[in-house]
Each structure stands twice: as C-alpha cells, then as structure tokens.
Structure 1
C-alpha cells in the first residue's frame, strides 16, 4: 500500500523509467493508490510521458550541437565523412551516454527521488551555464581543423580516425547523460536520441553547411545548446 506522497513519487519515477502510461495506471490500481492521486490518472501520466519525451529529444539535440561546427568545417575543407565513420561517432556518443547514465542512476539509488531530481537538474543547468560562458570545448575547436583528425591526409575520415573524434564530441554526452541518469530519465530513449542526433547533425551540417551557417543555430551552436540544457535542468527539477 502506498500511503504517502513520498512513496507515490518513488513509484511514479519507476513508472517513468520503465513502463507506458497505461501500464503505470494499472500498477497504481494494483498497489491501491488513492484515486485522487494525480499520477493515478491516464491524463496525468500521458502528459508526463509526453513532456519527458520532449526533454529527451532536447537533450539529444543539445548534446550534439558541437557536431555542427565539425561537419561544417570538414565540408568547407572538402574532407569527407563516410556513412560508416559517422555511424561510429554516433555509436561512441551512445556508449558514453549509457555509461554516464548508469553511473548517475547508481548514485540516485542512494538518495531520495526529490534530491535526485534537484542534483540532476542543477547539474544540467551548470553544464548549460558553462557552455554559455565557454562556447567551445578546447579539443573540439582543435578538431575543427580537418588535418587534426585526417591523419593520413587523404581528405576522408576513416573509421579509425573517427574514433578519437567521436570521443572528443562525446564530452557533452558524458556530463549531460550523468545528469539525466541521476534525475531518472529513460536510458533507452536518451541513448537513442543522442545517437540519432549525432548522426543527423554531422551528416546534415557536412552536406548543408553553407545554408546552416546563415542561421542563428549555425553561428552560435554552443549558446543554443547551453540554453536547452538549462531549460531541461529546470524542468527536471520541477517535474
């Protein structure tokens, strides 16, 4: 029997991580949660599920906006990033995100759900502020010169050359994934979002870099990513 708001919150965090809104409602009924509990209703769980999905999408975008600069720079320098190399970079981002989320989730197991939301949210906000104050991570800026990654000078980023580039670009995924892990986000959804947007941002900016450079996002990707992470962090605290 769940008889306190604290237990209801723990139970709902479990539902948010593991099951759909309909399954969540059934679990609440089985555990005899009072009908007046907001999380009991399908409308409430459905809205929370939609909001969480939106946050996961935003995180995938924010964690990969550094990729825009890389794709744009390599396109201008006529250095090709083959499909398999782009996939390797995306896989590395997904692996780093999985690792950091697992670490965050383990830490969250030792603190209250409310504290976990605050720690995860504040961490995401801090990363966002850091990105606003320091627009480019030093290693990423160095890799904007294609010669840094293209070690054999053939103007093609091979899978072997894509591995160190992938780890450099995954730096944002490491920190943001940890924050999302602490706050109890869905690992599968977050990892897939990070991988998808990693692939899209590199491929899209490499192909359409000239058009992208004219937009606000293309000119200030780090600032846009920082604002997104701050918004995600605030929502995680209030959710």
Structure 2
C-alpha cells in the first residue's frame, strides 16, 4: 500500500502545479469538474494496467517486472527532463485565457484544436489555462474531460509499468483521489508558497519514480 500511495502522489504532483496555475489566472474548477478529472485519470490507469497485464503474459524475452521497472524509470527521467528544461520561450509567450472572452481572431485556432483532440491535449499540457476554451473563468464538464485527459497521460505509461512490477489494482483509486486533492490543494495554496519551495517540488515526481523503478530492479 505504501508504494501505491507514493506512486499516486508522484503522478498527481502535475495536478498541484495545474491547480496553482488556475488559481493565479482566477480560473475556477467546480467539484463536479474535479470529479470528472479524477475519473479520467482512473480510466487511463485502468486501461493501461489492463494492457500491462496482457503484455506481461506475452513477454518472453524480458521479465515483466524488469520491463515495468525500466518503464517507471523512463517516465521518471522524462519528468525530470521536463522539470529541468522548464517552459520554452514560446510557451512563456502564450497569453493566459482568464475571464476574457475569446476574440474573433482566436476562433480558427480554437476550432482546429477542437477538431484535433490530440493537438488540444498537447496544448493543454503546455499551457493548462487553454482548457478554459470559452474564457468563462470556470472549467466546465466538457473542458474538464480535456484537462483530465492531459493530466492522465503520465498515468497511462506508469500504469502499465506498475502492474508489471506487481503493484495492486487499488492504486487506480489512489491516483484518482490524489489527482483531485492535488488540484484542489494547488488552487488553495496559490500565492502562499515561496518560489524557492515550488522550484524544488517540480523535481519530486521524476525522482520518486526513478527510485521506485530502481528498487523494483533489486
């Protein structure tokens, strides 16, 4: 249970950052939308763990436990890379969509994003407030599905790895609940944590996943 909780925390810290970003931009996430985000995360974890179980049966060249541990470490390395690299100049230049209405010139961009679901997910990951498509200042149920999908991407890879290393299925519930709590806590603590603390927190998910993956190899 301890490892499952630690993995859930590591996979949910992105949600903490998103919650703070929304708080800074005065974008509200109602409880219903938070629940949908949690369900998206649970669904991604469930599907990925199912694939992990199927893959574990089919593997003959390498031990499923070893592959799962290496996958966890790969996800950890990616998260560390993302934390070290930080936002690009392009991402920094993207204006926040707070409560301002969408301008006519924005319609074409938003339309192409809506028609290309994967492009929208990538954009949401780069600038989370883009999920507020209508500029209402509140994340609706439909918009929460987009945001939930974006936040669940890391969970998908980690879910396959987790099941191959023997982590039980109840980690799905832990990750979903933790995702909701982290987003809510991020909004609650907006502006209350010093930048020195926040700059270090972003490295935790990658470090934790690397450590868990390494321990599973022993």
TM bucket (normalised to shorter chain) is 0.7 to 0.9
Q: If you compute each CA radius of gyration, which structure gives the higher value, 1 or 2?
A: 1
Q: Using the TM superposition, name which of 160-169 and 202-211 deviates more.
A: 202-211
**1:68 and 1:221 in contact (8 A); partners too:** no
Give the equivalent residue in structure 2 for 1:191. 172
Alignment of 1:76-87 (within 5 A): 76-87=24-35
> Is 1:134 equivalent to 2:82 in the alignment?
yes
Cα distance in 1, alignment partners of residues 23 and 195 from structure 2: 15
Paired residues, number: 181
Q: Quote how far apart the aligned CAs of 1:175 are.
A: 0.8
Query: Which whole-Å deviations, capped at 9, do the CAs of 1:97-128 have from their partners, x for residues lacking one?
Result: 0000110111112347x811111111101111
Matches within 5 A, 1:142-153: 142-144=126-128, 146=129, 148-153=130-135
User: Partner residue of 2:138?
Assistant: 156
Tell me if structure 2 keeps the 8 A contact 1:66–1:221: no
Q: Structure 2: give runs of 5+ residues left out of the alignment.
A: 88-121
By relative contact order (CA 8 Å, sep 6+), the higher-ranking structure is 2
TM-score by length of 2: 0.77
Partner Cα distance (1:141, 1:219) in 2: 18
Long gaps (5+) in structure 1: 1-52
- Aligned Cα root-mean-square deviation (Å): 1.9
**Deviation for aligned residue 1:213:** 4.9
Cα deviation code 1:122-180 (max 9, x no counterpart): 11011111211122696454333x2x111122111011111111101111101111100
Seen in structure 2, the aligned counterparts of structure 1 residues 213 and 190 have a Cα distance that, compared at 3 Å, is farther
What does 1:26-105 align with in structure 2 at a 5 Å threshold? Answer: 53-105=1-53
TM-score, normalised to structure 1, is: 0.70
